[in-house]
């Protein structure tokens, strides 16, 4: 799943080498995928009114459901402390 998210996002940003995806498994069995992008690329991943981020989230949830998993997707804001995420 990390490769899938990485593939999508790398085609959206100016600095594809800075794209990082990590998976955190919650105690409920849900997989949480956290996306980190380089400086200046956050806006391109979020898109106008968050539409791009919502579309990526929909794809992640659908692909996970197809594999019988539950998943979530977050975009980590590099300007904020490490635990803050962008709410979209």
Domain count, the chain: 1
Q: What is the pTM for the complete model shown?
A: 0.82
Per residue in 15-70, pLDDT (tens digit) is 999 999 999 998 888 999 999 998 889 999 999 999 999 999 999 999 999 999 99
Which is more confident, 77 or 87? 77
Determine the structural domain holding residue 38 and report its residue range: 2-86
CATH number at residue 82: 3.30.300.20
3-state secondary structure of 60: helix
The pLDDT, as a whole number, for residue 20 is 95
CA atoms within 13 A on the CB side of 38: 11
Which is more confident, 79 or 86? 79
Nearest residue to 6 (alpha-carbon basis) of 68, 18, 44: 18
Q: What band does 77 get if pLDDT is binned at 50, 70 and 90?
A: confident
Nearest residue to 73 (alpha-carbon basis) of 39, 44, 31, 43: 31
Residue with tokens 């991943």: 45
Which residues neighbour 52 within 8 Å (Cβ) at sequence distance 6 or greater? Answer: 12, 44, 45, 46
């Amino acid at each position: 799943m990390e490769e899938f998210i990485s593939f999508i996002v790398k085609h959206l940003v100016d600095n594809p080498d800075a794209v990082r995806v990590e998976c955190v498994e919650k105690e409920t069995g849900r997989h949480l995928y956290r996306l980190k992008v380089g400086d200046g690329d956050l806006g391109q991943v979020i898109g106008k009114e968050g539409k791009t981020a919502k579309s990526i989230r929909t794809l992640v949830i659908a692909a996970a459901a197809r594999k019988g998993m539950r998943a979530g997707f977050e975009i980590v804001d590099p300007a904020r402390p490490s635990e803050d995420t962008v709410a979209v």
